[in-house]
Amino acid sequence: MFKKRETRFVEILKESYSSGLLSILVDRETGVHYVHTWASTGGSGLTPLLDENGKVVVKKPE
């Protein structure tokens, strides 16, 4: 009756630090990788992940 919908983003890495969390998210539709950070002090951020040449990392998850 109901079709299960896949989430658009998949988390491929998660690391915890004394002051917060860092994770890598991948957009299943575009393949763009994002870095998400969360600080225990209340801040967070999201930005595209760049390779060594400054280009956005694009690789669809398997």
Residue 2 to residue 22: CA distance in whole angstroms: 34
Q: State yes or no: pLDDT of 4 exceeds 90.
A: no
Residue 59 vs residues 24, 31, 40: alpha-carbon distances, Å: 12, 5, 30
At 1 the pLDDT is 64
pLDDT in tens, 6-62: 899 999 999 999 899 999 999 999 999 999 999 988 899 999 999 999 999 999 877
At 62 the pLDDT is 75
Look up residue 21 and give its two tokens.
């969390």
